[in-house]
Amino acid sequence: MRPGLAIAAVLVLAAQPAWAQGKTKTAPSAAAIAALEMCEAFAGGGDTLVEDAIAAGWDAYEDDAESPFVRSYSGGRDLPGIGWGDLFSLVETYPGTVFGYCRIDVANVRGDGKAVIDALAGLDRYEGEVVAEDGGHYASLAGGDSLLLTHWDNMGFVIQLTTLTPVAGE
């Protein structure tokens, strides 16, 4: 057999299990970044949040409104390589400013917490401090109009995002 054909055959056989499944695994860091992006969307407010979340695989819904100036949302989904995440988001509208809050909690985590926290802290849009303490990994980050606390410890994994966004034209 020619060397080129032998290499091609090895590559095809190596790729077969993933190809046969019809899907590839999502790395825990990628799942955490996608979850943060969903939180960023919810905290930013919008008319199609629930539909967009459902399209991204979340079981999401809008909670009953307590005021025309307050909207809240809930949802959940399995975060590949991490565990089941519960999402809660609150968007409050004030004159000239929108306050957004989103939190995702994963109680029964699996995977590498340090890698996940490092991936979130390594995003270009955030900067801040990362601390490893008592087996946990914690980050306090800021970027633009957003404040992000995230941690992975023996209690679980949390993404907690707060935004204060000026409303254009007000």
Please tell me the pTM assigned to this model: 0.83
pLDDT digits (tens, 9 = 90+) for 43-61: 998 899 999 999 999 999 9
Domain count, the chain: 1
Q: Is residue 21 part of a domain?
A: no
Task: Give the DSSP H or E segment for 96.
Answer: none
Q: Check pLDDT > 60 for residue 3.
A: no
Which H or E run contains 36?
helix 28-44
- Position 101 in a domain: yes
Q: Which residues contact 106 (CB under 8 A, 6 or more apart)?
A: 79, 82, 83, 84, 85, 86, 156, 157, 158
Domain that holds residue 158: 26-166
Residue 163 CA from chain centroid, whole number: 15
Task: For residue range 87-133, list pLDDT tens digits in order.
Answer: 999 999 999 999 999 999 999 999 889 999 999 999 999 999 999 99
pLDDT recorded at residue 21: 39
- Does the residue 11 lie in any domain? no
85 near 104, Cβ under 8 Å? yes
- Distance, CA of 9 to chain centre: 38
**CB contact at 8 A, 94 and 70:** no
